[in-house]
Homo-oligomer: A and B are copies of this chain.
Amino acid sequence: MVETLMGTARSAFQQYAELALQDRKNLLYAIADELEAQRATVVGQAMAETNLTEVRLNGELSRTIFQLKSYGDAAASGEWLDASIDTADPQRTPPKPKLHKTSVPVGPVLVFGASNFPFAYSTAGGDTASALAAGCVVIVKAHPAHVQTSVLVANAIGKALDKQGLPQGIFQHVTTDDRPTVNSIITHKHLKAIGFTGSFFGGKAIWELANSRPEPIPVFAEMSSINPVFIFPKKMEAESEQLANTLAASITLGAGQFCTNPGLIIVQNGAGVDHFLEILGQKTGATAPVNMLHQGIADHFNANRNLVLAQANVELVAENNDGQTLHDIPTIAKTTGKAFLQNPNLATEVFGSFSLVVVCENAAEMLDIATGMQGQLTSTLMVMEEEMNAHRALVQEIIAHCGRVVFNGVPTGVEVCKAMQHGGPWPSTTAAYSTSVGADAIKRFARPVSYQNFPNALLPLELQDENPLGIYRTVNNVLTKAPLA
């Protein structure tokens, strides 16, 4: 079965990789249109499988449709190719050849569906859309928590391929959970990259297996993040109540089931801290528990919540526990900076509506925590502008450990746009140099190739003298849209 799957992927890739950028865009738009046409059906199925609300799922499907179109637009623009040209210098000793560089799709890509985003990070989600935009063919491994939703979305993609007159092999769908079968896809020689969104242990296992291949391949895994929020002293003094309200809403949003959920809040002991903790506890504790995505997620939430609460010097501030095992338990706990620095268990990701407030004795302790922080998708500064210069080293350390730094806002909410960086140092991802959201996500599935001394007509369109795509190119170190003379 895997041989057939990969053989199909390979021959579809040979055809799809040659497709014009505009045709890739057309495919992505066709998938988006197909999903829109089937909105009621796919949302209904996802409601049945995931415990997510109709409002949330409709919003997520709209986001998914927007993503497909925006990666289509980005693909067609050709800017992501980073096309560059250095012209020849036959007079030089030795003569300088002409060189053209662009990006080529790497080959078949395996995408793992995510449990918490049945649309936006699953079957037709960001990884699939950006791989198709790059010119790669895709094999999706459905997440077991919403297989039937995945089947419906896969069928919609199949229909879009049909309508575009493209082979079905461009997108293939796998529903098995048989580990050896999945592993034999990961290790198959035709596979050239992997996209994953999920747990640290899942991502790391895939990354290790991919690295053990005779030809290791890149794994773009988004895995684990506790998204620290640093509240600076003057900000705390001035706005403790507002900060508590803002953060409580972010912590409990969607039962906390977001990779950007703020699971750690670092404050410095001083004016406002007691009031902040009081209000944060009140608001969070007053949030009604809701069904989590599935029992496995709820069990993990509970286990990790209990692990953190059981540590020495951890105090429960507030919780709302209604005893229903599928429900989350909105929770605030607190500890000291000293305890946090000594006990790595306190940095455990509790995936759900939980946040640990770390109360530091002084600025030095806060700096030590920032310095020792593991890699994060996001970090947040709650700060008065005039405080920034006095804490230059702290700000530098915070930025050194994350992919996105938020100024007086909340980390939840991940814009799909060019300037978005969704990816940070290990263990938040396996690939800190790339993003899984925004136009640059396409670059994960293409690699640069130089063409030396090629005749103009044999070059890819984006490199030809006339600049037929009308894109910006770096010509002799200068960005320009001008054709070559």
Q: Which residues of A contact B (CB under 8 A)?
A: 14, 17-18, 73-74, 77, 79, 82, 84-86, 94, 96-97, 99-101, 104, 106-107, 211, 215-216, 218, 374-375, 385, 388, 393, 396, 399-400, 402-409, 413, 415, 417-421, 423, 425-427, 430, 432-433, 435, 439-440, 443, 447-455, 457-458, 472, 474, 477, 479
Cβ of A394 to closest chain B Cβ, rounded Å: 12
Contact B399 A458 (CB under 8 A): no
Q: Given A433-B218, A450-B421, A479-B479, A415–B458 Cβ distance below 8 Å?
A: no
A426 to B217, CA, bound (A): 8
Complex Cα–Cα for A244 and B419 (A): 51
State the copy count for this chain.
2
Q: Which residues of B contact A400 (CB under 8 A)?
A: 104, 107
C-alpha spacing A455/B405, complex, angstroms: 12
Known: A14-B396, A216-B426, A385-B458. A419 touches B100 (CB 8 A): yes
Min CB distance A460 to B, Å, is 10
Distance, CA A97 to CA B419, complexed state (A): 11
Give me 7 other A-B pairs in contact (C-beta within 8 A), A403-B449, A404-B450 excluded: A14-B393, A79-B479, A104-B400, A106-B432, A216-B426, A421-B448, A435-B448
Q: Is the CB of A440 within 8 A of B448?
A: yes
- Which residue of B is nearest A457, CB measured? B385
Nearest-neighbor residue (CB-CB) of A389 within chain B: B458
Task: Give the docked Cα–Cα distance between A106 and B432 (Å).
Answer: 10
Neighbour of A404 across the interface among B413, B415, B449, CB < 8 A: B449
Asked if A101 and B474 make an inter-chain contact with CB atoms under 8 angstroms apart, the answer reads: no
Question: For A82, what are the chain B residues with a Cβ–Cβ distance below 8 Å?
Answer: 440
Asked whether, in the complex, the Cβ of B448 is within 8 Å of the Cβ of A407, the reply is: no
